[in-house]
Amino acid sequence: MRTTGKTSRRIALFIMLSGLACITTTALICFFSGTDCNLLLYALTPELLFNIHLDRLAAFFTALIGLVAFCCVIYSLNYIEHGGSEKGRHILTALLPLFILSMIMVVASDNMFGFLFFWEIMSISSFFLVMYNREKVETQKAGIFYFVMTQFSTLFLFIAFLLIYRYTGTFDIGYTEALPQVVKSFAFMALVIGFGTKAGLIPFHKWLPYAHSAAPSNISALMSGVMLKVAIYGLCRFAFDVLQPELWWGFVLLAFGTVSAVLGVIYALKEHDLKKLLAYHSIENIGIIVIGLGLYVIFNHYGLQTAANLSMVGALFHTLNHAVFKSLLFMTAGSVVQATGTRNIEEMGGLVKKMPVTAILFLIGSCAISALPPLNGFASEIMIFQAYLGSFELNNPVVEIVMVIGLAAFALMSALAAACFVKAFGIVFLAKPRSREAGKATEVSLGMLAGPAILALTCVVLGVFSFQIIKGIGFDLPVPNMLPVSILLLLIILVFAGLLKLFHVPVRTGETWGCGIQKQTPVMEYTATGFSEPIVTIFRLIFRTKKSNDKEYFDSAESITKRTEAKITTFKFFEERIYMPLANFFMKLAAFISQKHNKDVETFILYAFVTIVLLLVTAGLWL
Amino acid sequence: MIDTIIFNDIIHGLFVLILGTAALIINQRSLTSLFNIYAAQSLILAVMAIVLFIEYGTLNLLFIAILTLAVKTIFIPLFLHKVLKRISVKRDLQFMFLSPASSILISAILIFVVYLFFTNIAGDLFADRLILLVGVIGIALALMGMMVIFSRKRVITKTVGYLTMENGVLLFSLFMAEMPFIIEILIVLDLLMIIVLSAVLAFGIDSGMEEFHKKLNRLGIWIED
Amino acid sequence: MNWNMILYTVLNTAFVLLFAPLLVSLIKKVKAMCQGRRGTPLLQTYFQLFKLFKKEIIYSDNSSFIMRISPYLNIAFLLVASIFIPIVFIPAQESGFGNIILFLYLMVCARFFMALSGLDAGSTFGGMGSSREMTIASIIEPTTLMACAAIAFILKTTNIPEMFGTVLDGSILQYPTLFLVPSSLFIILIVETARVPVDNPETHLELTMVHEAMILEQSGPKLALMELSYGIKQLILMALLINILFPWGMATDATAAGILISIASFIVKALILAVVMGVFESFFAKIRFFRLPDFFMIAFFLSFATIVFELLS
């Protein structure tokens, strides 16, 4: 019984792999040759169509989805087999292609109805996928929160799309100038809120850490790597392609992006749940992408074409890079979590000796996300840096000073991300294991290594050959050529390693210097809390950790203690000040209305009577 | 007289030095260095007045330079050092409302905000870029002085903050054409300063504000709830 | 790759490798003389490096491949970064080398791997050093970028050889606001080379260790590579400071006489700056760790003021 279940899942996944390979190849052909691809699938009514239209932007995103999903499916070949019931695994394998297909169809749709239809399918299928481990209370809470937030975003998308329909008369996605100014601004804000919630912009981000850490790791990789990018595609398409952007939109995007980037990484520094840490970094990187989009709007408005191109291409390139390295990180994190049985990094350690290949893959992912040359994270961040530094050609001092402040925040965020990943990689993989489970970890199976390995290779290729790739797409941008730098780096490393080998330097191992202690135990290693403590103390105004120490005394001279109580509480700003009050308000409203429901028959007839009378009166007056 | 470009550079350099001293004052915890930095700031102002005198030739500027040099660079710091010898306090460590790092961040943003204010309110009035810059720096300096007053507890640091505010007004006045009116304002400010200082001296300069109120309470002048 | 570039790479790297240890010893000697001692001879760092190369390597039981490759990575990243700062002559333009952001991030790379190797051995010293180093790096990064942005704004380019060329061609008076940048650059130099008042490079006590703690577990030739890369980092940052402000004497083409004059003038300027750094270090005590953000904020404020002035005039 078990073998046939596993085989049937494997067959399903292999079919998925071939399908994805075909889709990715088609998309890449569309992208590089510049030809559009058009296909009408089904017309519900003459207005509401399901169709595919791959222009360069859509083809780019489709190829992105295809590539990342391909590697996730390879990873899932073995990952699904661990944990969960047989039925659960079948459902996971069944929902996975639905999820991936819905994302591809959202990107490929040329009709707003099709877009929303597949958007909803994407949201609902991902909700079920998140609830995979629904026995745990935290997964249930995460799932419900995610579901509410996704409906919230769809609501705003509906508002924006209906506004556009009202003024253009068609559901087709195409450039329009028919909207008056006020309506356009309103539509833009609705789009930002709708797509921003799905992408994870602050302050609509709260669902992201919960959902991405509760879901199984291959689903987290897909959600974090791909689903957030679908939201970015929507923002690009509707705000830049359909509507014509105004100057203040650029500042709005820049503000949201910078706040998300900086706060995302600062909150990530405090996290000790490996997957929540990665989720907060997703928020940070989405912030970077939105910064790029905002800069594009601003530079376009002032006519600085090179800087505008730099920011747009940088933002889109970062979308691709983030998809690649974030899925890589989530998948290797999933391997680690599955090998050690815990998500808490304080209980891990020493995994580099037990799981060497996973360690190297995680290292490549960490270097990529910390924007270290010559990997791809740096290649896209330097484009945004160059765009910021290109702002000296603007002649408006106010805008330039705003750019400089944005640049400072961007630099801070970049350095903090590197610090966070030194912590993540160092505490999880290096030194000695901090718990017995971590000591018993073993390397994962080949399928779970092959998927991330392909992505790691992509990271390196995209970074080293970034200049050639950008030139190949047809943009002539002032980006540094990483190829000579990488070749030189490799050369120097080989020269010095060769020199030391040549001189036959004797090597031996010994105990770590512990200032005279007899034996090094894992307790003496640095903890994750200790590592991030200086940064947390410096940014304590943002964390607002409250330490309270109440003491009660017997006497007035305060010398005989009766009772003391010490408490450390973190102040969750968005939850306590924004989300919970809103949620409480809606709960009260719902309670009030449901109270009105619990009456007897006579009251209902009364309601109906009053409504009919009112209708008669207003209709009589109006018509 | 001097080449305009060099004149502009010297003035810009002096501006940055003044802002630097103001930032250091916000940051300082040691009282002796506080007075020395204040003396340096007044010295830079005197130098700026002399440079302006060489460029424009108004005699008033020379008088202001000499006055600043005598009173603010030499006399007041010397006086404050003497007072410091008599009291037991040597450092001021407590910060209220704002930590030093956030105060500096806020001052940076303040300069920007003041600049926006000036360009929006009186764009045509400030045709000469230098006057605009001076206006911005002068007000920024005054605001930074005010930040010192509300974020520190010891009265002696508050006095230095007040003196910084006065330096800001002086800077502002150096570049304005209408001299006599400004001199009146300066005289009033100096009078105020003398009053505050004498009141503080009477009640003890090493106290904080609460002790000040307690002492007034004992004399029956201030009713505490 | 043309001959000009290859010649430049070889000469620049050779000069950097040979001259860096001398500056380290010179600063130590200046500090010693300020303290009233005679200090070690000027060639001491060279003797130290030779001694280390002859010793054996001892790895900790807990360490992994990170400890083994990080010295190589360190020196590789810093040597490539040194190619970005022309010292011997300004090379003909090559699109890969010279971007100031790439230069900064190559140094970030070196620091990343040094921090990882600090955590590798599983000792508390290493972890503490890594933690503090990454914190200091995060806080100084906005200031560094603000100073680089100021230079890029003033000189209208992000390519370092181009910047030197621009200042060399025009007179310094054409870029007067450039004089306001050195204070920030100097503070960044102090922070990146881990000198007093940020960190004490001569002690091994927990209270003052940041940089030294991370390389505590290295030994033998690997330790020599780490010390050498520290010297290289110091030299290239000093070169950036010197050549932005006083690039006179630097050759713009590869003639033998020009190169010799460049090297000689640079050595003189570097020696002067080393003496200034030694005296500066002797004047200050190390700042408490949590007071460092206040100190960095002043540097940030000065760079920000410089940019504002540059933009408003």
Q: Facing residues of A53 across strands? A: A38
Chain C contact partners (≥3 CB pairs within 8 A): A, B
CB A122 within 8 A of CB A85: no
What integer pLDDT is reported at residue B1 of this predicted model? Answer: 47
Quick: pLDDT tens for B127-178.
667 777 888 888 889 889 888 888 887 777 888 888 888 888 888 877 765 5
What integer pLDDT is reported at residue B127 of this predicted model? Answer: 61
CB atoms within 10 A of CB A405: 18
Dihedral pair phi/psi, residue A126, rounded to 5° = -70, -30
pLDDT at residue B2 greater than cutoff 60: no
**Interface residue B116 vs chain A (CB under 8 A):** yes
Quick: pLDDT tens for A493-548.
898 888 888 887 888 888 777 777 777 777 888 888 888 888 888 888 888 777 78
Segment holding A565, helix H or strand E: strand A561-569
What integer pLDDT is reported at residue C95 of this predicted model? Answer: 59
**Interface residue B128 vs chain C (CB under 8 A):** no
What integer pLDDT is reported at residue B105 of this predicted model? Answer: 87
CB C231 within 8 A of CB C65: no
3-state SS class at B220: coil
pLDDT in tens, chain C (313 residues): 577 888 888 888 999 999 999 999 999 999 999 989 988 898 999 999 999 988 888 888 888 889 889 999 999 999 999 988 888 888 876 656 788 999 999 999 999 999 999 888 888 888 888 999 999 999 999 999 988 888 888 888 888 888 888 888 776 666 767 777 888 889 899 998 888 888 887 776 666 678 888 888 888 889 999 999 999 999 999 999 988 888 877 777 778 888 888 899 999 999 999 999 999 988 888 888 888 888 888 888 888 888 887 777 6
Chain-chain contact of B116 with A398 (C-beta, under 8 angstroms): yes
Chain A CA closest to residue B119: A398
Q: Which amino acid would we find at residue A562?
A: K
Give contacts of C173 with chain B, Cβ < 8 Å.
5-6, 9
Domain count, chain B: 1
Chain-chain contact of C120 with A431 (C-beta, under 8 angstroms): yes
CB A22 within 8 A of CB A9: no
The CA-atom distances, in angstroms, between A285 and each of A200, A288, A333, C309 are 10, 5, 18, 32
**Interface residue C177 vs chain A (CB under 8 A):** no
Residue B165 structure tokens:
């505010």
Cis ω before C197 (30° cut-off from 0): yes
Measure B133 CA to nearest chain C CA, in Å.
8
Beta-carbon-side half-sphere exposure of residue A216 (alpha carbons within 13 Å):
27
Chain-chain contact of A496 with C156 (C-beta, under 8 angstroms): no
Chain B contact partners (≥3 CB pairs within 8 A): A, C
Neighbouring residues of B72: CB distance < 8 A, sequence distance ≥ 6 = B38, B39, B42, B45, B46, B163, B167
Residue A456 structure tokens:
């790691």
B35 belongs to a structural domain: yes
Dihedral pair phi/psi, residue A40, rounded to 5° = -95, 125
Segment holding A11, helix H or strand E: helix A2-33
* DSSP 8-state class, residue A561: E
Q: How many whole angstroms separate alpha carbon A389 and alpha carbon A319?
A: 21
Chain-chain contact of B102 with A398 (C-beta, under 8 angstroms): no
DSSP-assigned letters across all residues of C85-110? S-SSBPPPP-SSS-BHHHHHHHHHHH
Chain-chain contact of C300 with B23 (C-beta, under 8 angstroms): no
Q: How many whole angstroms separate alpha carbon A558 and alpha carbon A562?
A: 10
B145 belongs to a structural domain: yes
Chain A CA closest to residue B105: A405
Rg (CA), chain B: 19
Picking from A430, A490, A533 by the largest number of C CB atoms within 10 A of its own CB, the best residue to mutate is A430
3-state SS class at A37: strand
Residue A609 structure tokens:
């009577």
pLDDT at residue A325 greater than cutoff 90: yes
**Interface residue A395 vs chain B (CB under 8 A):** no
Long-range contacts of C167-170 (CB under 8 A, 24+ apart): C167/C243, C167/C244, C167/C245, C167/C247, C168/C90, C168/C247, C168/C248, C168/C250, C168/C252
Quick: pLDDT tens for A541-594.
888 777 788 888 888 887 888 888 887 777 777 777 788 888 888 889 998 888
Residue C77 structure tokens:
């990243």
Of A370, A389, A508, the CB nearest to C149: A389
Chain-chain contact of C180 with B101 (C-beta, under 8 angstroms): no
Q: How many whole angstroms separate alpha carbon A611 and alpha carbon A615?
A: 6
Of C179, C297, C309, the CB nearest to B104: C297
pLDDT at residue B224 greater than cutoff 60: no
Percent above pLDDT 70 for chain A: 99
Quick: pLDDT tens for A94-153.
899 999 999 999 998 888 888 999 999 999 999 999 988 888 888 888 999 999 999 999
B105 belongs to a structural domain: no
B100 belongs to a structural domain: no
What integer pLDDT is reported at residue B195 of this predicted model? Answer: 62
The angle formed by the CA atoms of residues A613, A614 and A615, to the nearest 5 degrees, is 90
Of A420 and B70, the structure prediction assigns the larger pLDDT to A420
Centroid of chain to Cα A271: 16
Q: By C-alpha distance, which of C116, B217, B25, B135 is closest to A425?
A: C116
Question: Which B residues 86-105 touch C at CB under 8 Å?
Answer: 99-101, 104-105
How many residues are listed for chain C in this entry? 313
Q: How many whole angstroms separate alpha carbon C243 and alpha carbon A447?
A: 53
Q: How many whole angstroms separate alpha carbon C160 and alpha carbon C150?
A: 13
Of C105 and A471, the structure prediction assigns the larger pLDDT to C105
Q: How many whole angstroms separate alpha carbon A207 and alpha carbon A148?
A: 9
Measure B203 CA to nearest chain C CA, in Å.
33
What integer pLDDT is reported at residue B14 of this predicted model? Answer: 85
pLDDT at residue B179 greater than cutoff 60: no
CB C247 within 8 A of CB C170: no
Of C58, C66, C96, the CB nearest to A508: C58
Give contacts of C109 with chain A, Cβ < 8 Å.
367, 372-373
DSSP-assigned letters across all residues of C177-245? GGGGSHHHHHHHHHHHTT-TTT--TT---GGG-SHHHHTTT--HHHHHHHHHHHHHHHHHHHHHHHHHH
CB atoms within 10 A of CB A397: 17
3-state SS class at B2: coil
Q: How many whole angstroms separate alpha carbon A389 and alpha carbon A314?
A: 14
pTM: 0.89
pLDDT at residue A620 greater than cutoff 90: no
Q: How many whole angstroms separate alpha carbon C87 and alpha carbon C78?
A: 15
Tally A–C CB contacts below 8 A.
234
The stretch A36-53 carries a mean pLDDT of: 79
Of A418 and A437, the structure prediction assigns the larger pLDDT to A418
In the block, tokens 């791909």 appear at A226
Centroid of chain to Cα B4: 28
pLDDT at residue A599 greater than cutoff 80: no
Chain-chain contact of A401 with B102 (C-beta, under 8 angstroms): no
The angle formed by the CA atoms of residues A177, A180 and A184, to the nearest 5 degrees, is 80
CB C108 within 8 A of CB C74: no
Q: How many whole angstroms separate alpha carbon B55 and alpha carbon B42?
A: 20
B106 belongs to a structural domain: no
What integer pLDDT is reported at residue B28 of this predicted model? Answer: 84
pLDDT at residue A158 greater than cutoff 60: yes
Residue A57 structure tokens:
């932007």
Residue A21 structure tokens:
């390979």
Q: Which amino acid would we find at residue A325?
A: F
Domain residues for the domain of B59 are: 4-88+113-218
Chain A contact partners (≥3 CB pairs within 8 A): B, C
Chain C CA closest to residue A375: C109
Q: By C-alpha distance, which of A608, A499, A597, A575 is closest to A145?
A: A575
Looking at chain C, the number of H-run helices and the number of E-run strands are 11, 1
Q: How many whole angstroms separate alpha carbon A310 and alpha carbon A479?
A: 9
Chain B CA closest to residue C298: B23
What integer pLDDT is reported at residue B134 of this predicted model? Answer: 81
Q: How many whole angstroms separate alpha carbon A375 and alpha carbon B173?
A: 55
Percent above pLDDT 70 for chain B: 73
The angle formed by the CA atoms of residues C305, C308 and C309, to the nearest 5 degrees, is 85
The stretch A397-406 carries a mean pLDDT of: 86
pLDDT at residue A253 greater than cutoff 90: yes
Cis ω before C182 (30° cut-off from 0): no
Give contacts of A509 with chain C, Cβ < 8 Å.
58-61
Q: Facing residues of A54 across strands? A: A37
Picking from B7, B16, B106, B136 by the largest number of C CB atoms within 10 A of its own CB, the best residue to mutate is B16
Q: By C-alpha distance, which of C108, C111, C132 is closest to C290?
A: C132
* DSSP 8-state class, residue C57: E
Q: How many whole angstroms separate alpha carbon A571 and alpha carbon A553?
A: 29
What integer pLDDT is reported at residue B225 of this predicted model? Answer: 47
Mean pLDDT of chain B: 77
Picking from A404, A432, A490, A518 by the largest number of C CB atoms within 10 A of its own CB, the best residue to mutate is A404
B134 belongs to a structural domain: yes
Quick: pLDDT tens for B43-65.
998 888 888 888 777 777 777 77
3-state SS class at A38: strand
Q: By C-alpha distance, which of C130, C105, C222 is closest to A430?
A: C130
Q: How many whole angstroms separate alpha carbon A433 and alpha carbon A354?
A: 10
The CA-atom distances, in angstroms, between B205 and each of A463, B92, B177 are 63, 13, 38
Q: By C-alpha distance, which of A176, A298, A169 is closest to A244?
A: A176
Residue C150 structure tokens:
């100021």
Q: Which amino acid would we find at residue C80?
A: V
Question: Which C residues 184-203 touch A at CB under 8 Å?
Answer: none
